[in-house]
Homo-oligomer: A and B are copies of this chain.
Amino acid sequence: MPKARASIDADGPAIRAVDLWAPSSEKTPQLLSAEERARLAVIASIVRFNKGEKIYGEGQRAHAVFNIVTGVVKAYKTAPDSSEHITAFLFPDDLVGLSEEGRYTNSLTAITPVTAYLLPVSALRSRLSNDAGLEFHVICKLCHELRQTQRHAFILSRRQALSKVAMFLQLLEQLQAVRGERITEIYLPMSRSDIGEYVGMSLEAVSRAFRGLTTRGIIKSRDRRHLKITDRSTFDKIADNTNASSAAGSVTQ
């Protein structure tokens, strides 16, 4: 029996984002019509990457844009001091590889097995200039990613480790919901180290934050990659940084 995703696989590239102007009932609808997806499928090819495989490196010539079908990738920059900063985690229906003057601005690595559509820039370019509707959808997607990155920056600006991690989990949960997956459990495809590089703290601090949330009874992890939020209200308070630590503290101590 084919997975739900298999149909997407067959239908061509897909992008998902909210509309810029119109208030819609649906949360994040599929932006492209079947016809548009079919037209894009003509110029696209399917590519696969193993877990841990590097897709491209920062500064390389950008020959293609990728549209993820299944799996998760990380986009990251390597700082001059050789520490890595993760720019974004990218999931199915995301678009990645939009470049600056023909060169990639991030490196890209698969953190799970990945299948994706590869769209050559030359072909995409001409398609874009001939299809105003598609262009508009790309604009919507970019606005979406811009807000996503602003949210990332917001997480990074927090000072408390617990708050950072809680916000990160909220983010993952929401993305999962948007993809139509079950959210009884949050799935963490990435390592502690990846999380640390995303939220701006050491992997040890990430580990401690998980422990902190667990011992306070706020989350419960089945294994290192699956957890459940058991106390939603204090969880949200910690994420919002509204006096939850003090309340929870009085319970614990």
Are B18 and A101 in contact, CB atoms less than 8 angstroms apart? yes
Q: Is the CB of A100 within 8 A of B149?
A: no
Decide: A98 and B241 in contact? CB cutoff 8 A: no
A142 at the interface (CB under 8 A from B): yes
A147 and B6 CA atoms in complex are apart in Å by 32
Some 17 contacts from A to B, beta carbons below 8 A apart, are: A20-B99, A21-B102, A23-B101, A77-B150, A77-B154, A80-B242, A85-B153, A98-B143, A130-B132, A132-B135, A135-B139, A142-B143, A146-B149, A149-B149, A149-B153, A157-B200, A159-B200
A-to-B contact residues, CB < 8 Å: 18-24, 62, 77, 79-81, 83, 85, 87-88, 98-103, 105-106, 121, 125, 128-130, 132-133, 135-136, 138-139, 142-147, 149-150, 152-154, 156-157, 159, 200, 240-242
Residues on B with C-beta less than 8 A from A149 are: 146, 149-150, 153
By CB atoms of chain B within 10 A, which of A83, A88, A156 has the most? A156
Complex Cα distance, B135 from A136, in Å, reads 7
Residues of B within 8 A of A241 (CB): 79-81, 83
- Residue in A83, A142, A146 with the greatest tally of chain B CB atoms within 10 Å: A146
Q: How far is the CB of A125 from chain B (nearest CB, A)?
A: 6
User: 7 new A-B pairs (CB below 8 Å) besides A18-B100, A24-B101?
Assistant: A21-B101, A21-B121, A81-B240, A83-B241, A85-B154, A132-B132, A153-B153
Contacts of A139 in B (CB 8 A): 128, 135, 138-139, 142
- Distance A153 CA – B241 CA, assembled complex (angstroms): 20
Chain B residues with CB under 8 A of A80: 240-242
Q: Is A153 in contact with B22, judged by CB distance below 8 angstroms?
A: no
Alpha-carbon gap, A145 to B147, bound state (A): 11
Whether the Cβ atoms of A101 and B153 lie closer than 8 Å is: no
Provide the bound-state CA to CA distance between A132 and B128, in Å. 8
CB <8 Å contact, B101 and A19:
yes
- Which B residues are CB-close (under 8 A) to A138? 139
| Contact for A23 among B102, B121, B147, CB less than 8 A | B102
Contact B132–A100 (Cβ < 8 Å): no
* Residue of B with least CB distance to A237: B80
Chain B residue nearest to A159 in the complex (CB): B200
A162 CB to nearest chain B CB (Å): 13
